[in-house]
Structure 1
Amino acid sequence: MIQTHFAIILSGISSFLFAQDFSYHLDPVARLTFSSVVYSVGDTAGGSDCWGYVDRKGNDYAIMGILDGTAIVRVNDLKVIATVPGPMERDPYFHRDMMTYGDYLYICHEMTGTNEGIQIIDLSTLPDSIRYVDTINRSDAGGQSANTSHNLFVDESTGMLYTVRKYANGVRLLSLKDPEKPQDVGIIETPDAHDVFSRNDTVFVAEGWNGSFSIWDAKEMKSSPSLLARVGIPSGGYVHTVWTTADGNYLMTAEETSRRTMKIWDITNFDDIEMVGEYLGSSNLAHNIHIKHNLAFVSHYSSGAIVVDISDPANPVEVANFDTYTASDESTYLGAWGIYPFSPNGYVYVSNAEGHLDILRFREESLSIHMSSETFPERISLGNNFPNPFNGETSISVSISSEREVSLEVFNALGIRVATVFNGSLPAGDYSFRWQSGGMPSGIYFARLSSSSIVQSVKMLHLK
């Protein structure tokens, strides 16, 4: 869990013995229920994917696809600030997907009708209201109609929007240089496409019924990205989800098919991609995966929300869970549909097919044991950056009471490391480190100070 600034007092370091372990928890905070449609027993439509946002005052918002559009919920008082009207025709399960880029929200749908296409919403006017910017429903760069899409992904590091093409035969590439007027720059053609993920314009595509995933280089030739690798999954089901670790060394996939495991792939060499680990929860049917640090947060249908420790990719271990669908644990498309774990305040949002939005709080407890023959205060502190908000450059203060190894890093809102400000040994003292954001897009970032078992974070707002 990312925490706000605090100082830690430790016992002395003479004759020091240390043993460290952690326990993880998903604690319920609240449940909101939106309308749903029950077609038959075990066949319900009400909620689709979810995302999150934090406004400039630090308020958290859960964002969820519902029957008639997209609901934006302020977490501290559970108020539905707005429902963005969306299309409702031709898809009985009301698939909607969404992500943010800075203060902008992008929404896609598989339905047609009101506001069909990619919706652009300005969230900077929260906490009181939102501003509807535009809807994009023109044809893509390949000339294909683009009024519907199953999935989208925003690569914050490069300002690119990737959407699955209407007929699931590839991916559409749009530049967000002007966030209110995305421009088509190219397409990727694949035999099938369900979900897309991008890390610094290296694009990963879950290829659905093709039983494979592919990797593309869109760094230079965005008009026509080049294929780096395609991996067929042995006895694969419907390849649904792809997501990498923050360091880009591992890829995690999920197949939306009963009794098909989530798989962890070593992708350090695109010419020799190897599956190194796999895991599956009790319902035997996984859906969406988001990776934060060394933890995979999974919406696992009737098993609910689960957290899997992938710090050892060969031996993934479930470390926390919260059952959002207590009626059964059968391998069915009920229960947890989407999950969002990136709130800086530790919230986790889970959207459910039945129309429920579960707001949870992720909690990490240290089980460390400290013993020493001497006791004297040892302090390490990460201060708030200044200025904040900032444009281009900000200063981050660090204070330590004795010499130690420290690492000061910057992460974006997805938990991806974007900069290492300092990594090394520091003598006791007070320090101020400057971070220049360079070409980083506007948005929320986190400075994280780590040393031994200590991790502290502060939130920073970058405005261009």
Structure 2
Amino acid sequence: MHNARMRYTVNVSRPLSYTIKGLHSPGIFAKAVGGNIFSGCSVRFARYAFAGLLFLFVVSNAEASSGRFLQQQAGDGKAASVSVDDAHDGVSRTVRITGRVPCVDGEAAGYPCKDLDLLAFVPREEMEGFPCPRSGYCFNDIWGWTDPVTDVEYALLGRVDGVAFFDLSDPENPLFVGMLPKTPDAWSSSWRDVKVVNDHAVIVADAAGAHGMQAFDLSQLRDVTNPPATFGPTALYDAIRSAHNVVVNDISDHVYIVGIQGDHEAPGGFACGAGPHIVDMNDPAQPAFAGCYTPSRGRGYTHDAQCVRYRGPDTRYAGKDICISFDEAGGAITDVTDPASPEELGLFEYPRIGYTHQGWLTEDHRYLFVNDELDEGHGYADSTRTLIFDVQKLDDPAPVGAWHGPTPAIDHNLYIHEGKLYEANYQAGLRVMDISYDGALSPDDIREVAYFDVYPQSDLPGFIGSWSSYPFFKSGIIVVSSMDDGLFVLAPPSLSVGVSAESEELPAEVKLTGNYPNPFNPETTIRYALPQAGKVRLVVYDLLGQEVAVLVDGSRPAGHHTVRFDGGDLPSGSYVYRLQVGEEIVARTMTLVK
């Protein structure tokens, strides 16, 4: 096998789909990314699935090793790039996509889809200095944060070596702001989990040695003038070492660390075991132990949980803090209002358990959806199986049935928002189900209404593809983590990005606000607002009046818009950005400092 690093890159003019000539997959399954044809290079790769695990390797023939170029043969439109690389123990096919690619005829940029457009894709190669030890296991969890001062939305993407932060003020061109590395002396880990409490990220890692729980003040992201930056933690809670997940209750100051491996301290003589370890984050700079408990189910290990301030139909517990834990062989419902003295209320299980993995309550706290990570791979279900429980009595959860998806892929992390269930199903990508109901919920009423498959090669039950998603941004965009590839930013076709999704009052006149940050290096964000739809031209000039960049040139809807300007190829100095809408012209000055 030829082991030298090889890269073949072609700029293509219509990034809708890609096929590499000579693509060969002799294994159990093969699914090419069909569409535009590239010739002049043969690259062969094989992907095999066995016993629920995926093995990936590459065979590069002499023609590929000779470095012959790829030639794009068809298409027109916006630019993108395709790379073939035999590094990272396999093939990395990378497409940097900026600018909305609509889902048309079941496809967007080569990815199978339904009613979800691709706004942007950021590959791992564009996250500076990222060593990925195993192909297919580069990224993991994802979460989101909205800056309460600037309203800018950020994606928090777990990597094997830390957490990467992305500014989504222009969701069609995410900005890699920087990263928080893993705890020094901790090991890189394929399992990293991140959530947000009190405008701080909380991060744990499994099988990572002495990692602890990092806390990071997210307000630091707004002050970065020279991205990407490398951050340090605001605090480190080291009473635990490795843990699989961290859980937050959006209304309380507590976080719940679960899936703890190895010894961990429990002040006050608590016997915590591997159940939820509760930390008080009222002062995020000084996390403090608050309590712990061990579920009675199975071996007392909690894999994941959801904790809420309860507002459901069981009036006995109204306003109390309730945790639902997913404990490998079923789950438990626990009152954790007093973290020093939790009370287990009820248990749930179901037939043919593989591994009770994770779940989420409906927004009225009436029903619970649960995923099992091993039932598909073990043959307990012919297709993706998501369990449903009626939890209107917290001490007596009742099974309702199961929703069976259209593919055999494994269901991983799921979340519920505004009557829809967003489920990251590994090789089948993100699936979206309408779970709205009137009176009582039946599995027969559930419909799959959208999907975006970040792993087009296969829909089999293997551990690769989409790890998780975050569907809670007010803007309506959705971010998805792909274990091997990077960050995907998606939106329904009806969502106009760059325009506030809220009913924000339209301006009475054209407005061009000052760029932020200013001074900047090398990127900054420009915001403008339109009282009505119209033809827009936004151009950057140097002080000699020479045009250096055209940021917008086309029709835009009424509302508030954001555009990112990258001055990386320009010298330091002052520049003028000029907005023209019809006959009206507004201009401002910005300063690039390198």
- Shorter-chain TM range is 0.5 to 0.7
Q: In structure 2, the residue corresponding to 1:344 is in which secondary structure?
A: coil
Q: Kindly indicate whether the alpha-carbon contact (under 8 Å) linking 2:259 and 2:303 is maintained by their aligned counterparts in 1.
A: no
Aligned partners of 2:435, 2:277: CA distance in 1, in Å? 31
Return the letter of the residue paired with 2:433. Answer: V
Q: Kindly indicate whether the alpha-carbon contact (under 8 Å) linking 1:349 and 1:357 is maintained by their aligned counterparts in 2.
A: yes
Alignment of 1:161-172 (within 5 A): 161-167=255-261, 169-172=274-277
Residue 322 of structure 1 corresponds to which residue in structure 2?
A: 452
Residue 118 of structure 1 corresponds to which residue in structure 2?
A: 213
Alpha-carbon shift at residue 88 of structure 1 (Å): 8.7
Alpha-carbon shift at residue 127 of structure 1 (Å): 2.4
Return the letter of the residue paired with 1:29. Answer: L
1:188 aligns with 2:281: no
Show structure 2 runs of 5+ residues with no match.
1-113, 125-129, 262-272, 310-320, 496-501, 506-594
Return the letter of the residue paired with 1:127. Answer: R
1:270 aligns with 2:400: no
Residue 299 of structure 1 corresponds to which residue in structure 2?
A: 424
Residue 371 of structure 2 corresponds to which residue in structure 1?
A: 254
Alpha-carbon shift at residue 308 of structure 1 (Å): 0.9
Residue 242 of structure 1 corresponds to which residue in structure 2?
A: 359
Alpha-carbon shift at residue 316 of structure 1 (Å): 1.8
Match of 2:222 among 103, 127, 136: 127
Alpha-carbon shift at residue 276 of structure 1 (Å): 1.8
Match of 1:102 among 194, 198, 215: 198
Q: In structure 2, the residue corresponding to 1:325 is in which secondary structure?
A: coil
Match of 1:203 among 303, 306, 323: 323
Q: Kindly indicate whether the alpha-carbon contact (under 8 Å) linking 2:115 and 2:451 is maintained by their aligned counterparts in 1.
A: yes
The 3 A distance-change label for structure 1 pair 193 and 89 is: farther
Aligned partners of 1:93, 1:62: CA distance in 2, in Å? 20
Alpha-carbon shift at residue 58 of structure 1 (Å): 2.1
Return the letter of the residue paired with 1:198. Answer: C
1:351 aligns with 2:487: no
Aligned partners of 1:382, 1:138: CA distance in 2, in Å? 44
Aligned partners of 1:363, 1:187: CA distance in 2, in Å? 45
Show structure 1 runs of 5+ residues with no match.
1-23, 140-145, 366-380, 385-464
Aligned partners of 1:254, 1:66: CA distance in 2, in Å? 23
Name the one with the larger strand percent: 1
Q: State the identity as a percent.
A: 26
Q: Kindly indicate whether the alpha-carbon contact (under 8 Å) linking 1:61 and 1:72 is maintained by their aligned counterparts in 2.
A: yes
Residue 145 of structure 2 corresponds to which residue in structure 1?
A: 53
Q: In structure 2, the residue corresponding to 1:124 is in which secondary structure?
A: helix
Give a deviation string over 1:149-175, Cα, whole Å, max 9, x none.
110111121221111152372001112
Aligned partners of 1:111, 1:135: CA distance in 2, in Å? 21
Q: Kindly indicate whether the alpha-carbon contact (under 8 Å) linking 1:119 and 1:135 is maintained by their aligned counterparts in 2.
A: yes
Return the letter of the residue paired with 2:256. Answer: Y
Residue 177 of structure 2 corresponds to which residue in structure 1?
A: 81
Return the letter of the residue paired with 1:280. Answer: H
Q: Kindly indicate whether the alpha-carbon contact (under 8 Å) linking 1:301 and 1:332 is maintained by their aligned counterparts in 2.
A: yes
Q: In structure 2, the residue corresponding to 1:126 is in which secondary structure?
A: helix
Q: In structure 1, the residue corresponding to 2:463 is in which secondary structure?
A: coil
Matched length = 333
Aligned partners of 1:255, 1:93: CA distance in 2, in Å? 22
Alpha-carbon shift at residue 87 of structure 1 (Å): 4.5
Q: Kindly indicate whether the alpha-carbon contact (under 8 Å) linking 1:303 and 1:324 is maintained by their aligned counterparts in 2.
A: yes
The structure 1 segments of at least 4 consecutive aligned residues displaced by more than 2 Å after TM superposition are: 35-39, 87-93, 125-139, 362-365, 381-384
Q: Kindly indicate whether the alpha-carbon contact (under 8 Å) linking 1:69 and 1:85 is maintained by their aligned counterparts in 2.
A: yes
The 3 A distance-change label for structure 1 pair 87 and 110 is: farther
Residue 143 of structure 1 corresponds to which residue in structure 2?
A: none
Aligned partners of 2:200, 2:354: CA distance in 1, in Å? 35
Match of 1:331 among 454, 461, 464: 461
TM-score, structure 2 as length reference:
0.53
Q: In structure 2, the residue corresponding to 1:80 is in which secondary structure?
A: strand
Give a deviation string over 1:360-379, Cα, whole Å, max 9, x none.
113558xxxxxxxxxxxxxx
The 3 A distance-change label for structure 1 pair 165 and 336 is: closer
Q: Kindly indicate whether the alpha-carbon contact (under 8 Å) linking 2:234 and 2:285 is maintained by their aligned counterparts in 1.
A: yes
Q: Kindly indicate whether the alpha-carbon contact (under 8 Å) linking 1:116 and 1:137 is maintained by their aligned counterparts in 2.
A: no
Aligned partners of 1:102, 1:192: CA distance in 2, in Å? 27
Aligned partners of 1:44, 1:382: CA distance in 2, in Å? 41
Q: In structure 1, the residue corresponding to 2:116 is in which secondary structure?
A: strand
Q: In structure 2, the residue corresponding to 1:127 is in which secondary structure?
A: helix
The 3 A distance-change label for structure 1 pair 187 and 165 is: farther
1:157 aligns with 2:251: yes
Residue 161 of structure 2 corresponds to which residue in structure 1?
A: 68
Aligned partners of 2:394, 2:245: CA distance in 1, in Å? 25
Residue 224 of structure 1 corresponds to which residue in structure 2?
A: 341
Alpha-carbon shift at residue 258 of structure 1 (Å): 4.1
Alpha-carbon shift at residue 223 of structure 1 (Å): 0.7
Give a deviation string over 1:277-305, Cα, whole Å, max 9, x none.
42233133100001102111011001000
Aligned partners of 1:102, 1:73: CA distance in 2, in Å? 19
Q: Kindly indicate whether the alpha-carbon contact (under 8 Å) linking 1:283 and 1:301 is maintained by their aligned counterparts in 2.
A: no
Aligned partners of 1:295, 1:36: CA distance in 2, in Å? 36
Residue 25 of structure 1 corresponds to which residue in structure 2?
A: 115
RMSD: 2.4
Return the letter of the residue paired with 1:83. Answer: M
Aligned partners of 1:125, 1:238: CA distance in 2, in Å? 38
The 3 A distance-change label for structure 1 pair 382 and 361 is: closer
Aligned partners of 1:37, 1:133: CA distance in 2, in Å? 22
Aligned partners of 2:220, 2:137: CA distance in 1, in Å? 31
Q: Which has the higher contact order (CA 8 A, sep 6+)?
A: 1
Return the letter of the residue paired with 2:306. Answer: F
Alpha-carbon shift at residue 106 of structure 1 (Å): 0.9
Aligned partners of 1:271, 1:218: CA distance in 2, in Å? 14
Which is worse superposed, 291-300 or 130-139? 130-139
The 3 A distance-change label for structure 1 pair 350 and 197 is: same
Q: In structure 2, the residue corresponding to 1:284 is in which secondary structure?
A: coil
Alpha-carbon shift at residue 265 of structure 1 (Å): 0.9
Aligned partners of 1:106, 1:325: CA distance in 2, in Å? 28
The 3 A distance-change label for structure 1 pair 84 and 111 is: farther
Q: Kindly indicate whether the alpha-carbon contact (under 8 Å) linking 2:189 and 2:206 is maintained by their aligned counterparts in 1.
A: no
Aligned partners of 2:177, 2:369: CA distance in 1, in Å? 34
Aligned partners of 2:395, 2:199: CA distance in 1, in Å? 38
Residue 342 of structure 1 corresponds to which residue in structure 2?
A: 472
Q: Kindly indicate whether the alpha-carbon contact (under 8 Å) linking 1:45 and 1:355 is maintained by their aligned counterparts in 2.
A: no
The 3 A distance-change label for structure 1 pair 228 and 91 is: farther
